[in-house]
């Protein structure tokens, strides 16, 4: 994996070649020098209307934020449980 980053405009142009012009994804990928997997991932992301894509992005961001918060709260709970067990054992 090269780790090369492509602009949104580049990705959208590649998707248009497949969806609007009917070119095979493999042909577009070879011509642009990207993997076929990248083309299909871009189609999945940019092949939907912009409003839907923005809603999906917002939903994914909210999911990431909630997962991070859940992890933090779970760690805090575990620490409090251990502290409560420690103090229960030492005070008795």
- List the chain pLDDT tens, one digit each, 92 residues: 456 889 999 999 999 999 999 999 999 999 999 999 999 999 999 988 989 999 999 999 999 999 999 999 999 999 999 999 999 998 76
The reported pLDDT for the residue numbered 2 is 57
Q: Are residues 42 and 58 in the same domain?
A: no
Q: Do residues 6 and 24 both lie within one domain?
A: yes
36's CB contacts (< 8 A; 6+ apart) are 25, 26, 29
Predicted confidence at residue 92, as pLDDT, reads 66
**Domain extent for 83:** 51-92
Rounded distance between C-alpha atoms, residue 38 and residue 89, angstroms: 57
Q: Indicate whether 33 and 61 sit together in one domain.
A: no
pLDDT at 51: 92
* pLDDT at site 20: 94
């Amino acid at each position: 994996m090269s780790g090369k980053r492509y602009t949104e405009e580049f990705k959208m142009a590649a998707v248009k070649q497949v969806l609007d012009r009917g070119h095979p994804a493999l042909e577009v990928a070879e011509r642009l020098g990207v993997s076929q997997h990248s083309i299909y991932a871009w189609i999945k992301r940019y092949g939907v209307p912009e409003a839907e894509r923005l809603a999906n992005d917002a939903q994914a961001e909210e999911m990431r934020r909630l997962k991070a918060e859940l992890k933090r709260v779970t760690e805090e709970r575990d620490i409090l449980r251990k502290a409560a067990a420690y103090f229960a054992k030492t005070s008795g």
